[in-house]
Structure 1
């Protein structure tokens, strides 16, 4: 199959996807558009809720399976947009539009790559592709729901904007709800146990706390207090203060270990994780996927941002066209050349591994 045609069709598909609103859990219309793309290439596929997926034509259950994955949901556009977020506009080699960079460019590039290998015989790996939903919201009906549906996965490439560099590790995420307690009372009377004042020392603790284990690729665990809430009226001292703490976990800890440490050591009245399922992820530098990328001039690094890698239990590599710093920004865009180079590099990387 000609790479030039695949590239042109991938860009055309991305333009179509940009112009279809697809907020998390509302991706039914973009899923339909992706189905049409499979139909146009005469590729057998299935749809599970808003996830569209397929396996290569000569799938062999005795071979290991490589997952290609990216998502077609988006965040909502912010107020800084000066261009229509749902209008695919090309200016100076840039394709503007919501979801163009995160992660539409990656998705259509992986779809093109899958189509390139779909009909090829005697591959060393099976291929399965999932155009997944609900990545931006870490929803229950996204890639995590597909792992019991698709064939068992041995290794994965997750398409997110990395400038086509090799993100060999990714931080996990745990969000905690915490409480600082005190004695409620009238503001006019003395109170030596004001929950709001007690929070000052608690905030200092979170600001200065350091987890012992650092990671070569991901650095330190990063813990940040992101929300604080207390009180309902001006003349009443509240009984407690609510905090939200965002913890980005390196590959030296499981999310459960982070939770255990904070529950034992933090000076809060209570601290409870919302979920422990979004763990850190990684792939050994020695893995043939990584070595293939390095041979093509790609560099390795650790990613601080969360993706669908967090729900995978197998080794996974984050790799894709576009730049993560453009994600969720106003007037989001991706360079057309990035998509062209992305498809070319995906194919070259896989040729060295699965052929």
Structure 2
């Protein structure tokens, strides 16, 4: 079994391999380079590696690396892509790992290429020949945009394990829940005309006013119907993010578009919400004589929830000495739950540094994360039993 590069060397190589995913094609890139790096390192440690191109996207791929056999086991999961970067706002090259002030700077250091380097470095201290249950390293594509990598795994019904940890940056706090998110667009088509005579056209902005009024009442109803004290914002939210309509003050607006998001609580269903909004629109369409269309901007992400009493949540609370909580941002957690795994989100670095210029991971996050990884591998992979005895940690 060949030796791995140092932690800093692995992180340097990962950061130096661009893998931006973005809805804008000018930014979007393949993640193949990162996948091949991980595959080479994991193969050298005895993992059986399978690279899975996404359907219809040969330049995007997932990696499932497995060592050990059994019906239980543990998945350590992360995404290989990053967000775009703000050119000119970084104090250093975003693709060159730089250490200063006890921090590691670079695009993806905390979100979340650094997690893979930490996992691999931790393997040095684990005798992988003694595994009683499988250890699976999962690397996904396009989490920062479409989450198509995670969706492809659900469609393939793989991987299979009993427990999963997603190493998103949570400042080493166990996360057992987050809201879902759906992003939608309403397009209203009226008829343009000269503003001096309203009868010459049909104003799409007027119709949009009626739509937004109905959506505001719908939003208030959601907040009255649903509450979850696990969240700081303990109700579902609807945000009107941007609106575009018309082209000149002296022309009747012929088309108007509204883009908005909804963040649903665990237990709410995104498809139900979409259908309820769809049902609001025909009456307004009839009253205004316009054409109103509702479409998805992106595929929705379900809410994520794992019971606080689940074994992996309790184990990570003990390993971190922190109580599990919830977050506002979305992850691949609900998709791993759909695959039948008890899942939590816990990783090094802070979400406050993610998606920001001068992204960094503090050095003091590394050793505690390795402590968590070792504890979970010991609990779920090195012991013969996969029961929920709390005495093993």
Q: For this structure pair, what is the TM-score category when the shorter chain's length is used for normalisation?
A: 0.7 to 0.9
Residue range with higher mean Cα deviation, 13-22 or 188-197: 188-197
Where structure 2 has 5 or more consecutive residues not aligned to the other structure, the ranges are 22-28, 54-60, 286-291, 384-393
TM-score (norm 1): 0.87
State yes or no: 1:252 paired with 2:252: no
Report Cα offsets for 1:241-287 as digits up to 9, x if no partner: 11111111210201112112222346673433345552111111111
Match of 2:375 among 336, 342, 348: 348
1:344, CA displacement in angstroms?
A: 1.6
SS in 2 for 1:214: coil
| Match of residue 318 from structure 1 | 345
State yes or no: 1:72 paired with 2:99: no
Residue range with higher mean Cα deviation, 28-37 or 266-275: 266-275
| Match of residue 391 from structure 2 | none
Report Cα offsets for 1:216-257 as digits up to 9, x if no partner: 324221211112111245542123311111111210201112
Match of 1:146 among 153, 158, 177: 153
What is the rounded CA distance, in whole Å, between the counterparts of 2:145 and 2:374 in structure 1? 30
| Match of residue 312 from structure 2 | 289
- CA gap of 1:127–1:38, structure 2 versus 1, over 3 A, is closer
What is the rounded CA distance, in whole Å, between the counterparts of 2:211 and 2:91 in structure 1? 41
- CA gap of 1:205–1:322, structure 2 versus 1, over 3 A, is farther
Residue range with higher mean Cα deviation, 153-162 or 192-201: 192-201
Match of 2:295 among 258, 272, 284: 272
Report Cα offsets for 1:64-94 as digits up to 9, x if no partner: 2432210121111114223211111000111
Superposition CA RMSD, Å: 2.8
| Match of residue 185 from structure 2 | 177
1:347, CA displacement in angstroms?
A: 1.5
| Match of residue 7 from structure 2 | 10
- CA gap of 1:351–1:225, structure 2 versus 1, over 3 A, is same
| Match of residue 226 from structure 2 | 213
State yes or no: 1:135 paired with 2:143: yes
What is the rounded CA distance, in whole Å, between the counterparts of 1:274 and 1:166 in structure 2? 31
1:160, CA displacement in angstroms?
A: 0.2
| Match of residue 25 from structure 2 | none
State yes or no: 1:156 paired with 2:177: no
The structure 1 segments of at least 4 consecutive aligned residues displaced by more than 6 Å after TM superposition are none
Match of 2:365 among 327, 338, 351: 338
| Match of residue 134 from structure 2 | 126
SS in 1 for 2:51: strand
What is the rounded CA distance, in whole Å, between the counterparts of 1:207 and 1:301 in structure 2? 29
| Match of residue 188 from structure 1 | 196
State whether residues 163 and 312 of structure 2, in contact with CA within 8 Å, keep that contact through their aligned partners in structure 1. Answer: no
| Match of residue 86 from structure 1 | 95
Name the count of aligned residue pairs: 346
- CA gap of 1:252–1:43, structure 2 versus 1, over 3 A, is closer
SS in 2 for 1:331: coil
Where structure 1 has 5 or more consecutive residues not aligned to the other structure, the ranges are none
